[in-house]
Amino acid sequence: MEKHDAKRRAFLVRAAAGAGAVAGAGLVPGAFAETQEQGKEANPSFPAATHAHMRGDHEKLGAFFNHADAATVAAFVERIMPGAPGKPGARDADVLNYIDLALAGPYADLQEFYRHGLTQLGAYCQEKYKKPFVQLPPAQQDEVLTALDQGKATGFVWPTAQAFFNTVRTHTMEGMFADPIYGGNKDFAGWELVGFPGAQLFYSPKDMDSKEAFSRAPTMGLQSALTKISLGPSNSPARKG
């Protein structure tokens, strides 16, 4: 991984750790479930599309993105949070899935924002490089991101280049570090990067008394914790029958 990639990763990891890793999600389980029910009423195929995408079946359309937009966003967020050997990036954490599900639900008001932003991004890349963003080498993709960040990318009206970049970067952070229940942070990749323990089954007396940083890997996210709470001891599958 190149030096500027490592610096970018380090900055985002520090920012996530300082923000409490999961505090930036902006979503709650109730609201998320409600928007999925609304989507079901409006489109009977909504749950199937959502669940297929959550399984990582990228041959199907996502909850919101089509194939072309999904490929662009996946490449975009990977340059924001690039992976490296032993250090997961946006693609490893399935940030695309997080953004896709959010735009189909709680962030539905940003659908046109993304559509216009991606259209303008495509036009800018075609004008400057004669290729779509996904076909550019990493160095040129980084040039595009820098131009967006600095407001120097031409052809952007709404959203502005900076607004589009800042929004996608924020959603990349959320997808990396929010609870996996929202579709990102696959296998707790983001939490492990910042040393966030997640929901633990137990804390030993030694853990409670230690003055050292807690280092045990996350064992469950919000979905698992809610399932255990809803089942309870008497309703647990292991106790039935």
pLDDT per residue as tens digits for the range 140-183: 999 999 999 999 999 999 999 999 999 999 999 999 998 898 99
Q: Tell me the backbone φ, ψ of residue 83, rounded to 5 degrees.
A: -85, 165
Percent of the chain residues topping a pLDDT of 70: 59
Instruction: Over range 90-111, report the average pLDDT.
Output: 95
Average pLDDT over residues 64-76: 96
pLDDT at 30 over 80: no
Instruction: Evaluate whether 103 touches 64 at the Cβ level (below 8 Å).
Output: yes
Inform me whether the pLDDT recorded for 38 exceeds 50.
no
66 in the Ramachandran plot: left (φ > 0), alpha (ψ -120 to 50) or beta? Answer: beta
Q: What is the 3-state secondary structure (H, E, C) of 8-30?
A: HHHHHHHHHHHCCCCCCCCCCHH
**Exposure pattern of 138-177 as b/e (b: 16+ CB <10 Å)?**
eeebbebbebbbeeebeebeebebeebbebbbebbbbbbb
The per-residue pLDDT for 12 is 56
CB neighbours (10 Å) of residue 210? 12
The angle formed by the CA atoms of residues 119, 123 and 126, to the nearest 5 degrees, is: 140
Question: What per-residue confidence (pLDDT) applies to 117?
Answer: 98
In tens, the pLDDT along 173-217 reads: 999 998 898 999 999 898 888 877 766 556 667 766 777 765 666
Question: Which helix (H) or strand (E) element contains residue 225?
Answer: helix 222-235
Q: Cβ(24)–Cβ(178) under 8 Å?
A: yes
At 120-147, the pLDDT tens digits run 999 999 999 999 999 999 999 999 999 9
CA angle 164, 35, 226 (to 5 degrees): 110
Mean residue pLDDT across the chain: 76
Position 20 pLDDT exceeds 90? no
Give me the pLDDT at residue 85, please.
85
User: What's the pTM?
Assistant: 0.70
